Amino acid sequence: MTHVFTIAIDGPAGAGKGTLARRLADHYRLNLLDTGLTYRAVAYALIQHALPLDNVSAAETAARQVDLARLDRTVLSAHAVGEAASKVAVIPTVRRILVEKQREFAKAPPGAVLDGRDIGTVVCPDADIKLYVTASAQVRARRRLAEIESIGGTASFAEILADIERRDERDTGRADSPLKPAADAHLLDTSEMAIEAAFLAAMAIIDDALAKRNKA
């Protein structure tokens, strides 16, 4: 049987894991799944139908209808959708349905990079490489503000920071699959590190693991 290679990347919102996941998927020629988009798609469907985010049966139906090949980042990346996603993400049955789809995706050759909150702990506990990418809330808020300003927008730093802290609390505090590093995850703190340096550090970890495996 050919081995399918899996890289699991977890961490809080805004730590740079999305960019890192994309760079690694390109470099190692692996499939890529931003699992946050799956939770966002469920939230978006509820918002579209003006349904409350704690309507469990509607959320389950929306989760079943999520098609990984049709996740529209442009629509789903709105800030409000991210907030709403963290609310539907506390529903255990929604998680079960989405995790099933994510695991199917990871199984397809030649393998995949998946990023999210519970990839190394729940979705792919046997991943070849687990990275936990983090940065201080202050740094993440500063980056988010710079991003907004770079496209001509304005926002308040204090509000962004409060928002990030609220989302962190929801993601780390929930009972089902809370955000936390897997015991065997490599920690990458990008607070003082540009994305290029984080990419090089991740590559060094992965190449080392690949070399060990080829020797075994």
Tokens of 197: 């340096």
Residues that bind ligand C5P (CB under 6 A): 13, 35-36, 39-40, 82, 85-86, 89, 116-118, 167, 171
Q: Which is nearer to ligand C5P, 30 or 119 (CB)?
A: 119
CB of 92: closest distance to ligand C5P in angstroms?
A: 11
Query: At CA 82, angle to CA 78 and CA 88, rounded to 5?
Result: 135
111 vs 116 by CB, closer to ligand C5P: 116
Spatial contact of 131 and 24, defined as CB atoms under 8 Å apart: no
Residues 6+ apart with CB under 8 A from 113: 6, 7, 9, 21, 24, 25, 28, 30, 31, 32, 33
Minimum CB–partner distance for residue 15 and ligand C5P (Å): 10
Sheet with strand 5-10: strands edge to edge: 31-34, 111-116, 5-10, 129-134, 186-189
**Residue closer to ligand C5P, measured from CB, 48 or 204:** 48
Closest CB 93 distance from ligand C5P, rounded Å? 13
Q: Residue 165 Cβ, how far from ligand C5P at the closest point, in Å?
A: 12
Min. distance of Cβ 89 from ligand C5P in angstroms? 3
Element (H, E) at 199: helix 195-215
Query: Between 13 and 106, whose beta carbon lies closer to ligand C5P?
Result: 13
Residues with Cβ within 8 Å of residue 199, at least 6 apart in sequence: 20, 23, 24
Tokens of 153: 């927008």
- Indicate the residue among 40 and 186 with the shorter CB distance to ligand C5P: 40
